[in-house]
Structure 1
Amino acid sequence: MQPLELAVVAGVLGAGAVLQSFTGFGFALIVAPIAALIAPDMVPGPLLALTLLLTLSYTWQAREMIDWRDFGYIMLGRLPLTLVAGYAISRVDPVVMSLVFGLFLLGAVAVTWSRVSLSPSPAILTIAGGLSGFFGTLTAVGAPPLAIAYQNRGGPQIRATLGANIILGTILSLCALGAVGRIDWAPLAWKTAAALPFVLCGSWIGRRLADRVDGELFRRIVLLVCAISSAAVVIAALWKL
């Protein structure tokens, strides 16, 4: 990457980590579309690894608050769809995959912006877990379906439960991608290590700004940037068809 592109990616990684500290999710949502345009080799492998490490940092502290019943329902849907996604990513044309990727991101931004919510019943949690596993494996953005299911509930227990699902689901996604030959583990390790300082810096800043900055305004600005970059991914994919 050129120095300017490297600076943009570093800034986006930091901004995504700040957003995560405000809302409990959103890191991959803002990073993925810009990385797909500037550094496509970051998606989905290294971005999944960074999401895993970032989520581990706050879920471990709240591990006693995990709702294992909800966790089970989510994983019931997530595991089979993760395997389906691993198979699909090895068979689908990359241009078509980019189009699906961009359209999914636009949809995720729309529902996140509107705060659409559902009652987190066992059926809804299982469906949300399936969608999270499928799109998380394809695009590294798996949190929005879970966040929508839990939109009207808050507190440490919900964040811990979502975090636990993201952690295990991300590990499953990485394994599925590795099984179909879509991950070269050595490059993934050094790319993740190179990006991690920017993520940790953003997380540190976010925790200290949470009580001083209008989190909702920041969230809206970041989602707007994400929508624009996602639209650019869709346009680029359509141009190649």
Structure 2
Amino acid sequence: MHWTPVLLLGLALFAGAFVQSSIGFGMAVVAAPFLVLFAPALMPGALLVTSFSLPVVQLLHGPRDVEWRSLSWALAARLLVMPLGVAAVALLSVRAISVVTGVLILLTVAASVSALGVRTTPVSSAVAGAIAGFSGTAASIGGPFFALVLQHERPTRLRATLSVFFLVGAAMAVAGLSVAGKFTTDQLVAGIAWIPFMALGYAAAAPARARLDHDRLRRAVLAFCVLASVSVIVRALVS
């Protein structure tokens, strides 16, 4: 494992943690394009390792106002579908995983900007959890679809519920990938190395959180994600 790109990719984790601590999700969506472009061998395991840490920090330092009923349905569905994500990592090439990641980011953006009147029900929670079972395992992107289901909840409840969803979901994904032999030592080491960058991103967002224009930040993040995902897909297809 070459440490220079790993440490430089820490900057992507810093930016992703800043975004997620501000709007509730985004760390994997922001960082994943950089990983698949510059260190595809570290996907998705390294990003899943880092995904453990930010939810823990958020739960320790923020309100633990969790919507347990919806969370239970989402996690149950995620567990059932997770083997499909493990199979994708085991069977697909690096190029195919890059395309899958790019497409999932585009779907995330489409879901985030849609005017769908999704409500928090057992069915919608289970559907979001099922999507995350595949996308969260194959590309470490599992939160935005459940965030869409929770969009009408209080901001504190949304962030707390998503934090538990990220934490348990990442544990499920790492366990599944480990059983399949697709979670490597390099991924573990890189994920641990990125934790300080994540912590700095979270700390940097704290004093600015109250002054941020969340709508403007959200639009900027989504626009970046579209450009990044398109570049990932084009590079994978022409390489």
- TM-score in same-fold range (> 0.5): yes
1: CA distance, partners of 2:212 / 2:65:
27
* Range with bigger deviation, 173-182 or 40-49: 40-49
Change (3 A) 1:8 1:113: farther
Answer whether contact 2:74 2:127 (CA < 8 A) is retained: yes
- What does residue 77 of structure 2 align with? 77
Change (3 A) 1:23 1:64: closer
For 1:72, give the aligned amino acid.
Answer: S
- What does residue 23 of structure 1 align with? 23
2: CA distance, partners of 1:7 / 1:87:
29
- What does residue 200 of structure 1 align with? 199
2: CA distance, partners of 1:115 / 1:37:
31
1: CA distance, partners of 2:192 / 2:140:
17
For 2:165, give the aligned amino acid.
Answer: N
For 1:55, give the aligned amino acid.
Answer: P
Answer whether contact 1:117 1:149 (CA < 8 A) is retained: no
Answer whether contact 1:16 1:30 (CA < 8 A) is retained: yes
Answer whether contact 1:116 1:151 (CA < 8 A) is retained: no
Structure 2: any 5+ residue segments left out of the alignment? none
Answer whether contact 1:80 1:130 (CA < 8 A) is retained: yes
Structure 1: any 5+ residue segments left out of the alignment? none
- What does residue 222 of structure 1 align with? 221
Answer whether contact 2:59 2:160 (CA < 8 A) is retained: yes
* Range with bigger deviation, 168-177 or 101-110: 101-110
- What does residue 44 of structure 1 align with? 44
- What does residue 91 of structure 1 align with? 91
Q: Superposed, which structure 2 residues align to 1:173-188 within 5 Å?
A: 173-184=173-184, 186-188=185-187
Aligned length: 238
2: CA distance, partners of 1:180 / 1:63:
36
TM-score (norm 1): 0.90
Residue 86 of structure 1, CA deviation: 1.1
2: CA distance, partners of 1:38 / 1:115:
34
* Range with bigger deviation, 211-220 or 166-175: 211-220
Identity %, equivalent residues = 27
CA root-mean-square deviation: 2.1
1: CA distance, partners of 2:171 / 2:7:
28
- What does residue 128 of structure 1 align with? 128
Residue 90 of structure 1, CA deviation: 1.1
2: CA distance, partners of 1:155 / 1:232:
32
Answer whether contact 2:50 2:191 (CA < 8 A) is retained: yes
SS at match of 2:182: coil
- What does residue 12 of structure 1 align with? 12
2: CA distance, partners of 1:6 / 1:91:
25
SS at match of 1:90: helix
Residue 64 of structure 1, CA deviation: 4.9
1: CA distance, partners of 2:44 / 2:178:
11
2: CA distance, partners of 1:229 / 1:92:
21
Answer whether contact 2:99 2:233 (CA < 8 A) is retained: yes
TM-score (norm 2): 0.90
1: CA distance, partners of 2:205 / 2:101:
27
Answer whether contact 1:45 1:174 (CA < 8 A) is retained: yes
Deviation track 1:169-192 (CA, whole Å, cap 9, x = no partner) reads 1100011111111112x3233212
Q: Superposed, which structure 2 residues align to 1:48-197 within 5 Å?
A: 48-61=48-61, 64-114=64-114, 116-184=116-184, 186-197=185-196
